[in-house]
Structure 1
Amino acid sequence: MKHKLLPGLLLALFAAAPVFAFEPFVVKDIRVEGIQRTEAGTVFNYLPVRVGETFTEAQAADAIRGLFATGFFRDVRIETEGDVLVVVVQERPAIAQIDFVGVKEFDQEALKKGLREVGLAESRIFDRALLERAEQELKRQYLSRGKYAAVIETTVTPLERNRVGINFKVDEGDVAKIRQINIIGNKTFKESELLDLFQLTTPGWLTWYTKNDQYSRQKLSADLENLRSFYLNRGYLDFNIDSTQVSITPDKKDIYISLSITEGERYTVSAVRFAGDLVLPEEEYRKLAAIKPGEIFSREKLTETTKAVSDRLGNEGYAFANVNAAPELDKEKREVAFTIFVDPGRRVYVRRINVGGNTKTRDEVIRREMRQMEGAWYDAEKINRSRTRVDRLGYFEDVAVETPAVPATTDQVDVNFNVKERPTGNLSIGAGFSSSENLVLSASIAQQNLFGSGNALTLALNTSESSRTYALSFTNPYYTPDGLSLGWDAYHRTYDPSESLSVAPYKTVSTGAGLRIGYPIGEEDSINFGLSADQTKITTFPESPQQYLDFCDPNKDDFDCDSVTSLVASAGWARDTRDSVIYPRKGNYQRVFGELSIPPGALRYGKLNYQYQHWFPIGRDFALMLNTDLGYAKGFGGKPVPFYKNFYAGGIGSVRGFDQSSIGPKDPITDDALGGNRRVIGNAEFFFPLPGTGMDRSFRMSAFFDAGTVWAEGDKAKLSDLRYSTGLSFAWGSPIGPLKFSLGFPIRKEEGDELQKFQFQLGSVF
């Protein structure tokens, strides 16, 4: 029977009048032709007619549209054979495989995963539009990596059983580098000084890592804002960036950036006034003003002023205070006066404190750091302090605080703390080289947030030619709700410096355990107490110093060196106001720690340590650290300080450039270090960014000056005994963990001092 083609396809695609019409008829049967993978039931579901129903021309158009909309078919026709409706389809091919050739910049499996998310994957229906979008997105990704010369050629190969293979052939080309950045219009400041503000730069010796020699629109926008802030903070109120031009060479290998600027005139501040609903005495506002009449205008100081006023009102419960500065320019005198308008708004209180983002850390670990209470008046200072305390836990990469208003209220807010967790486990590996110890290895595994509880557990191993230590410690920082901490330590330590040329030979094997508690007495201050028991076996050798032999002579003392027991009580106080634990720039750290042996232990001695560290910020990128470390020990009850409890100096952490424990009193026969009962250490360290890294804080260098020595009991303390060293230190927060290198050069040393010029440490998080 002759087939009759219905004009539904033309109706669906062109909305044109039918070439010819057909009379509606009652469908006696429906047949589907051309399907290979698609189920016939899928086609039936999109037909607006069933067997026994009347089929019309409008229904034919609807059927065509519906079947095309599935995306399964390349062509759809509806025909009739008498009263039989025949649906003829041509399926789109399926994707058999997707291959990448020449792709090195990206992981191929990651690319396939990205294509799968947009619908382009093996075994799925091939869609040319999706393929074109994928090709454009891949091209965009190469552009974001600075590979402007990348060429992508896509090939679709027909395969058997109505399938296709897709091949992305990529010629990545070279990364386009920034060859030159020009600033036009600067008169007051040198171009080199302005370019130092930029993160983008021309190729340098570290740009292989920072990628700052590759153009980025986001980085350029940030650099332009830094440039604008630089001028505005120096009084140039009329400063303007007239144009920005980014050009690339025809071979797409070199990028040139040109900026045209107008510096304008420099303004001084003529007056600062406060107006509006002041709430507080005007004199208090004036004390908060960082910008003063007669000074060169600084946008930074103006922002600091408005923020200080807003924060001060926030401390009084005015969470939504508006503080705006209105300038009045006198271009002839080059002066500007500011009227700071204050609108405190309504006083509000906190309804709820919500915590989010903590998938591992328990809510209570975060909430116990809160200083702002629910139901109390809003206090910006307490909220900021709460955020600082949560941040200083060290469990989170970022801590963000939001204070949205409670809907349908005018005097309530919620405080939302959103955290982003970071790895809190730490696997540290350290190594150093010296003429005495050769290779020194150390390792520790620690979890500072055990099972999200806020508790800390540490297992440490230290091994070298002379020592081996195993230590396990646990700390619960909130054993009681008011912040009483409880911890314990257990250790087994073997020390045998007989192979070392620095310390007089002896051997100790110690096993001990201790309990400690701590209690905060302020926001930055805490006190701690401890009690530990120790059993040590002391072994001396014929070549040991006479004082070591005398200490273990059973005829001169009433205890056996094969089993020396001691019970030691300790107490300490610490104060920490540093702005950061990892990268501090300001603040100070103080610590006093003392220990005292008590009966029934066999030893009788006391030790006292004091450390003071102060950080001075210098400009935006530099900092100076001064550190003092003092130690004193004394025996009592007619007994000396145990020689293995002596202080030592030299090495990393004290006087760099000298071998560990090589500074101080020497044995007159063997010239080995004996240690002493008094120690003084001083360090001055100037920190600065690594040249070529711009604003990247993961790189940090320092120039240091160290001094220190140890005196034996009975020796007169003389400054002439101090050893001095200087050198450079480099720290890098690398992807595998923190790296630290130190190169020290002794300035003053004595005969017998062992040197250790190069040291490094490597750590990794998991």
Structure 2
Amino acid sequence: MKTNLLIKIVLPVMKNILNVCIFSVSLIAIFNSVLWSETNKPETDQPPKTVNPLSVQSIRFEGLTSEDALLRSIVQTSIGKEIDPDQLSKDIKNVAKDTGLFSNISVDVEPYDEGGLEVIFRLVESPKIEGLQIVGNEKIRYGKIKEAINFKSGEIYTDYLAWQNQKQILKTYQEKGYYLAEVKTELDHDQATNTVALTFNINEGKRIKIQEINFIGSQGISQKKLARQLKTKVGKYFDENVLEADLTTLSFFYQDNGYAQSQVLGYEKRFNIEKTGLMLDIEVDEGPQYTVGEYKISIRFSEKPAFNEEKIRELMNPAEGEIFNRGKFQESIDKITERYQEEGYLLVELDPQPKFDEENQLVDVTFNISEGDVIIIDRIKINGLVKTRENIIKRELDHLKIKTDEFFDIQKIRKARQRLFQLGSISNVDFIPSEEEGQRRDLIVNVTERDKMGMFSVGGGYGSEGGLFGMAEVSHSNVLGRAYRVHLKGEVGTRYRQTQEFRVNTPWILGTPTRLNFSLYNNKRRQYYTRSVLTRYGYADWPIYERKGASVTMGRPLPRDYDLSVRFRNDHTFTKIDYLKKEDREYRRWTRSLTFYLSKDTRDYRMSLNHPINGAYNTISYEYSGGLLGADSDFIKYTLDLSQYIKTWKNMVLALHLYGGYLQPKSSNPESDYFLFFERYFLGGIETIRGYQDFEILPVSADGVPSLDGGDKTLYGNIEYRIPIAQQFMGVAFFDFGQVWNKPWGKLRRSDFNFKAGAGVGVRMDLQGMLLRAEWGYGFHRQDPNGNPVGKGEFHFTIGPSF
């Protein structure tokens, strides 16, 4: 073995010495040849020009198929200078390294005809890649492997580049757990064209599963608890990308449990003897577990202080004496920053400085807060208005005190965006402080109006309630550029369905933010139940109901996002019921009522008035009819309507809705159920519980008989996940539940709260402020004509807002 080692060392040295000797002999022979030619030249009348016999007089490149300008810029051997063997060696290396175009490079030095020497670089160009094939891949798709390699057709081929790409393919397989994969490279070299066709032959082998996961260095947290934090699990296939993400998760988990200085040092992979299982050893350095010692808060107040130290301490989390949780601590920092910005302190700076006491395992945090200057609005510039008058926007801003010399307040800005969206003519609005230095900044208001303020449409279709129908509609959301809204609608359906509506709205009257809404209506409906229900409960045909009248509503915003409004309604109702075994009945009633609404609206809009992304809209109402107001219908109605919107990922929204209502007749007349049909509650359909037909969910008596006149109590809820697809399109998945009752409060039992439920999906399209809804729901608690439970789906379609 020593002899072999000696040969390995001596032979290369002897080879280099022999090359130097040959090169030196060549130079001596060239020198003698040149010297002999110089001494034997015939004498002339003029003295000959003296040329240094060892100087380079010419540089030539052989085997090159393109221009040699690039190579001449790389080669440092220059004409006129003496030949330098070391520099020639460097030139060869530089040409090979800087171009990568040649598979072989050599240099020769020969006598030049005019004296001196000629340097000849003899080059063999590397072949170009003509084609690329990947063979044997089944578990990983071709495109994924292609992304890992960097060969391109027409590129120069080198053995190093082939080896590098071979490693990349293996890495791609190993990341997915194929540690037994093999990759071989095959070349088909066309000498005539100097091109190669390259083939990667892949033997994928079996995918390796994880047999064991060990946490080296863990003491404070159990191995089982650590393993639960990982997506990489025993028995699953190994994926290196997933494990890398798991290590980050593991680091955060340690820090969230008080190990603020912990480190995940890395991992090692080991195979079992058969190479069928992988064992992972994850090494961690836990360090001490810290508890919060003391918060020291230092505030550099601005001229208008926002919060005192006590308020800041209320927002700090974790509290003093609790385990130091990095995640909660960062959330509290973000929350404090957000609270400052909501008050207009956009320049606030927070600098938390933790001090770790390893001996006592405590962390004291000094919290330095610089409130910065509060931004004061200088000028307001409104851009983008084409049809809307500027004073319409300006009055909304002035009402919220968004004007010159006022502080920039994020909450007021959010409220202004909400009110401008609710005008109906605005599709987007942004408030941007200018970027000048200093405390006073201009406020840029960029407004985008809807493309079309007015609309005229004629159409028809099929609805679950009205059957075939035709409709005509005329509306304008910005009459005269003053935000007046006018809407006229007519509809006729084959199922005794007629609609006539006229509405006029204005958001301001008499120079105050008092809104006024006026409406006229004349609606005719036939209440559709299934034929089996009609005959089973004594009806010869579906009941007919008509209502016509007018209403006037006035409302005004209050502080802290509240709103108070009152509506006066005066209408006439007509009801006709055809019985099988008794005399038909017709009822004509006048209703005159006052309804008081108190609502709180914190919704935040970003895309459309039909798509709030945050906040809530909650309303309670009290309606009083009859009594001092006169007319025929005497009742009191209480309503609670709650909606919550939670932004999740990007602009996806979780929307929650709960509605409860109670109708209290003031008359003891046993026929008040018929008289108050229009005020009573029915469930089913796109507005309440989807997956059921309109009016399908009815109150049921103790003997199981449904009341076709509806109930006096109801409660239903809707849960939706709204997914924007495009600017005007949205997908929705929903779950609805609810029930309606007709029993006195004292007779309601737990068994009566058997809520009906439905779930499904749908799409929605925003048509210049109107919302087209097409939704399909599956009713979980529907019944067949004989009253037996049966699951069944229902398609719903309407044009109008959701909750």
TM category, shorter: 0.5 to 0.7
Note the C-alpha offset of 1:629: 4.0
Note the C-alpha offset of 1:99: 0.4
Q: TM-score, normalised by structure 1?
A: 0.54
- 2:127 equivalent to 1:103: no
1:171 partner letter: N
CA RMSD of aligned residues (A): 7.5
Give 1:458-497 correspondences, 5 Å limit.
Answer: none
d(CA) in 1 for partners of 2:756 and 2:287? 43
Q: 1:321 aligns with which of 330, 349, 358?
A: 349
SS of alignment partner, residue 216 of structure 1: helix
d(CA) in 2 for partners of 1:296 and 1:538? 66
Q: 2:601 aligns with which of 538, 556, 575?
A: 575
SS of alignment partner, residue 167 of structure 1: strand
Cα gap change, 1:166 to 1:304, in 2 (>3 Å): closer
Note the C-alpha offset of 1:93: 1.4
What does residue 724 of structure 1 align with? 754
SS of alignment partner, residue 548 of structure 1: coil
Cα gap change, 1:217 to 1:411, in 2 (>3 Å): farther
What does residue 143 of structure 1 align with? 174
d(CA) in 2 for partners of 1:134 and 1:316? 55
Cα gap change, 1:643 to 1:130, in 2 (>3 Å): farther
**Cα deviation code 1:31-53 (max 9, x no counterpart):** 98656xx44xx23675589xxx9
Cα gap change, 1:646 to 1:466, in 2 (>3 Å): farther
What does residue 630 of structure 2 align with? none
d(CA) in 2 for partners of 1:624 and 1:174? 47
Cα gap change, 1:248 to 1:674, in 2 (>3 Å): farther
* Larger relative contact order (Cα-Cα within 8 Å, sequence gap ≥ 6): 1
Cα gap change, 1:47 to 1:219, in 2 (>3 Å): closer
Give 1:215-614 correspondences, 5 Å limit.
Answer: 216-232=242-258, 240=262, 245-250=267-272, 251=275, 253-258=277-282, 267=291, 271-275=294-298, 277=300, 281-293=308-320, 298-300=325-327, 302-307=329-334, 310=337, 315=343, 317=345, 319=347, 321-327=349-355, 329=357, 336=362, 338=364, 340-344=366-370, 347=373, 507-508=495-496, 545-546=539-540, 548=542, 575-576=601-602, 588-590=616-618, 610-613=640-643
Q: 1:756 aligns with which of 765, 770, 791?
A: 791
Cα gap change, 1:317 to 1:686, in 2 (>3 Å): closer
Q: 2:195 aligns with which of 163, 170, 173?
A: 163
2:137 partner letter: V
Note the C-alpha offset of 1:219: 1.6
8 A Cα contact 2:251 2:262, kept in partner = no
Cα gap change, 1:248 to 1:616, in 2 (>3 Å): same
Runs of 5+ unmatched residues, structure 2? 1-15, 35-52, 379-392, 423-430, 547-572, 577-594, 624-632, 648-653, 666-671, 722-732, 763-774, 797-803
Cα gap change, 1:744 to 1:169, in 2 (>3 Å): same
What does residue 561 of structure 2 align with? none
8 A Cα contact 1:229 1:299, kept in partner = yes
Note the C-alpha offset of 1:719: 3.5
Cα gap change, 1:321 to 1:106, in 2 (>3 Å): same
d(CA) in 1 for partners of 2:200 and 2:472? 55
What does residue 387 of structure 2 align with? none
What does residue 628 of structure 1 align with? 659
SS of alignment partner, residue 185 of structure 2: strand
8 A Cα contact 1:578 1:589, kept in partner = no
Larger radius of gyration: 2
8 A Cα contact 1:486 1:518, kept in partner = yes
Q: 1:93 aligns with which of 122, 127, 132?
A: 127
8 A Cα contact 1:485 1:517, kept in partner = yes
Cα gap change, 1:153 to 1:26, in 2 (>3 Å): closer
- 2:157 equivalent to 1:123: no
1:151 partner letter: E
d(CA) in 1 for partners of 2:451 and 2:171? 42
Note the C-alpha offset of 1:177: 3.7
d(CA) in 2 for partners of 1:514 and 1:593? 24
d(CA) in 2 for partners of 1:255 and 1:487? 72
8 A Cα contact 2:692 2:778, kept in partner = no
Note the C-alpha offset of 1:124: 2.9
Over the matched positions of the two proteins, sequence identity in percent amounts to 14
**Cα deviation code 1:282-335 (max 9, x no counterpart):** 444444444545656555554455555555666564725243244475967x7x
8 A Cα contact 2:417 2:605, kept in partner = no
Note the C-alpha offset of 1:684: 9.9
What does residue 504 of structure 1 align with? none
8 A Cα contact 1:478 1:485, kept in partner = yes
8 A Cα contact 2:690 2:776, kept in partner = no
8 A Cα contact 2:544 2:575, kept in partner = no
- 2:201 equivalent to 1:152: no
d(CA) in 1 for partners of 2:63 and 2:172? 40
What does residue 43 of structure 1 align with? 68
Cα gap change, 1:150 to 1:474, in 2 (>3 Å): farther
d(CA) in 2 for partners of 1:511 and 1:548? 18
Cα gap change, 1:146 to 1:480, in 2 (>3 Å): farther
d(CA) in 2 for partners of 1:415 and 1:173? 65
Runs of 5+ unmatched residues, structure 1? 1-9, 205-210, 353-366, 394-400, 417-447, 496-506, 560-569, 596-603, 618-622, 688-700, 733-739, 762-766
1:752 partner letter: G
**Cα deviation code 1:450-475 (max 9, x no counterpart):** 9999x9x9x99988899679999999
**Cα deviation code 1:674-717 (max 9, x no counterpart):** 46375512459999xxxxxxxxxxxxx99x99541155xxx867
d(CA) in 1 for partners of 2:106 and 2:270? 52
Note the C-alpha offset of 1:153: 1.7
8 A Cα contact 2:187 2:196, kept in partner = yes
d(CA) in 1 for partners of 2:221 and 2:368? 36
Note the C-alpha offset of 1:98: 0.2
**Cα deviation code 1:363-419 (max 9, x no counterpart):** xxxx99999999999979569969999xx99xxxxxxx999998xx79899999xxx
Bigger shift: residues 217-226 or 740-749: 740-749
What does residue 439 of structure 1 align with? none
8 A Cα contact 2:136 2:204, kept in partner = yes
Note the C-alpha offset of 1:164: 0.7
d(CA) in 1 for partners of 2:233 and 2:484? 49
Cα gap change, 1:403 to 1:178, in 2 (>3 Å): farther
8 A Cα contact 1:463 1:469, kept in partner = yes
d(CA) in 2 for partners of 1:742 and 1:25? 90
Note the C-alpha offset of 1:167: 0.6
Note the C-alpha offset of 1:165: 0.6
d(CA) in 2 for partners of 1:655 and 1:542? 17
8 A Cα contact 1:661 1:675, kept in partner = no
- 2:163 equivalent to 1:132: yes
**Cα deviation code 1:82-107 (max 9, x no counterpart):** 57998764332121210011234555
Cα gap change, 1:576 to 1:374, in 2 (>3 Å): closer
**Cα deviation code 1:153-201 (max 9, x no counterpart):** 2222212522111011222334444444445787887655554443443
1:590 partner letter: N
What does residue 74 of structure 1 align with? 103
- 2:198 equivalent to 1:198: no
8 A Cα contact 2:131 2:197, kept in partner = yes
